[in-house]
Amino acid sequence: MADLFPVLGFDIGGTKIAVSLLLSDGSLIASSRVSNHNRAPEDVLPEIVAAAKKLLADTGYSQDSLKAVGICAPSPFDFEKGVILNPVNMPEWRNVPIREYLADALHTRAFFDNDANASVLAEWLFGAGVGAKNMLYIALSTGIGSGIIANEHLVRGETCDAGEVGHMILEPDGPLCQCGLRGCWESLCGGRAIARRLQKELAEYPDCRIMQLAGTPGKIDMKILAAAVREDDPMACAVWDEMMERDARAIGMLINIFNPQVIALGTIAIECESIFMPLLHERIRKYAWKKTASVCTVTPGKLGHKLGEISGGAIALYGLYENGEWELPR
Ligand SMILES: [Zn+2]
């Protein structure tokens, strides 16, 4: 095995920035967090550099041994320039050249990507997709998005918008999506969309099980829905069933389009595995060819709660791999 070396990952979020130190075999050595709630980048950036240097010092790695850093950045950003543009939930961050800043401050190379791409890289390098040539990671959370690996490379597309699977239109007459289209997969099956729909529709039914579990309409979310499904509540099961059918339809289409060896699924597939995965497997058969489905393992992601901490480092390692300086784990 090649010599192990450290890389750093920065996961930039609206409330916090996670800084993680990873070895090139994917093992997480240490991590820390810096608050980013309503703070200006001029204040936060020096703090994340200090946190990164402290992680290296505390774990006995010299700054010279650091081969690269990876930045998991919120949209929108300029990929070519490595600049965070104007994320909605980070009002003080405007046109921040974070890639150059961190490269200079830590005297190393810095690589940059979005959340969904970071997730597929982490699961591909160290999780459910190790050894696969073609794979997808699909985040099934408040929103729906994906990262795509084809022939051992990340697919970014012409404008870095590849992988926006949540905006495949499943029902042309469906609800208006926040992207401006109608009936997108995310507007039907995203956690935010389902919660909002139930909050509105069930407000007049205080005696239904979902409302009993939630207490008030505003508290209805995917966790409450799943709890009612586990109790076999008929109303909850009908909503779940409809969601599963659409999820299977979308994932089946993706199996036929990309012919992947692995599709790793996030959040809901992990948190609700027993009521989600068997139904999905059963229904995918309707929407994908036997040939493509039989070679594709559809599974919950394997990195679980560590995904966020590993994904920044995975961006760094993938950058080195694309430069021919690091080989894929097998
Ligand atoms: Zn949409």
Distance of CA 246 from the midpoint of ligand 1 (Å)? 15
Distance of CA 191 from the midpoint of ligand 1 (Å)? 14
Distance CA 181, CA 187 (A): 9
Based on the fold, state whether residues 52 and 175 are members of the same structural domain: no
Distance CA 100, CA 108 (A): 10
Based on the fold, state whether residues 158 and 292 are members of the same structural domain: yes
In a domain, 120, yes or no: no
Based on the fold, state whether residues 199 and 154 are members of the same structural domain: yes
Distance of CA 60 from the midpoint of ligand 1 (Å)? 47
Based on the fold, state whether residues 49 and 195 are members of the same structural domain: no
In a domain, 282, yes or no: yes
Based on the fold, state whether residues 182 and 248 are members of the same structural domain: yes
Distance of CA 4 from the midpoint of ligand 1 (Å)? 42
Domain containing residue 72: CATH number: 3.30.420.40
Based on the fold, state whether residues 63 and 24 are members of the same structural domain: yes
Based on the fold, state whether residues 64 and 132 are members of the same structural domain: no
Distance of CA 141 from the midpoint of ligand 1 (Å)? 14
pLDDT at position 156: 94
Distance of CA 296 from the midpoint of ligand 1 (Å)? 26
CB 183 within 8 A of CB 174: yes
Q: pTM for this structure? A: 0.95
In a domain, 69, yes or no: yes
What order of strands is seen across the sheet that includes strand 68-73? 28-35, 16-23, 6-12, 68-73, 109-114
Walking along the chain (330 residues) 10 residues at a time, the average pLDDT comes out as 87 94 96 95 97 97 95 92 93 96 97 95 97 97 96 94 96 95 97 96 94 96 97 97 98 98 97 97 97 98 93 97 92
In a domain, 1, yes or no: no
Based on the fold, state whether residues 107 and 249 are members of the same structural domain: no
Domain residue limits at 42: 6-114+306-322
Distance CA 154, CA 135 (A): 10
In a domain, 327, yes or no: no
pLDDT tens digits for 118-154?
Answer: 999 999 999 999 999 999 999 999 999 999 999 999 9
pLDDT at position 131: 95
pLDDT tens digits for 239-266?
Answer: 999 999 999 999 999 999 999 999 999 9
In a domain, 158, yes or no: yes
Distance of CA 249 from the midpoint of ligand 1 (Å)? 16
Based on the fold, state whether residues 99 and 152 are members of the same structural domain: no
Based on the fold, state whether residues 66 and 141 are members of the same structural domain: no
Based on the fold, state whether residues 34 and 173 are members of the same structural domain: no
pLDDT at position 218: 96
Helical residues (DSSP H) of the chain, grouped into ranges: 41-59, 98-106, 115-126, 185-189, 191-201, 209-214, 222-230, 234-258, 268-271, 273-284, 290-294, 307-322
Distance of CA 44 from the midpoint of ligand 1 (Å)? 32
Q: What is the DSSP letter of 64?
A: G
Distance of CA 305 from the midpoint of ligand 1 (Å)? 27
In a domain, 329, yes or no: no
Distance of CA 165 from the midpoint of ligand 1 (Å)? 9
Count of domains in the chain?
2
Distance CA 97, CA 38 (A): 18
In a domain, 195, yes or no: yes
Based on the fold, state whether residues 13 and 108 are members of the same structural domain: yes
pLDDT at position 248: 98
CB 62 within 8 A of CB 68: no
Between β-strands 68-73 and 109-114, what pairing exists: parallel, antiparallel or unpaired? parallel
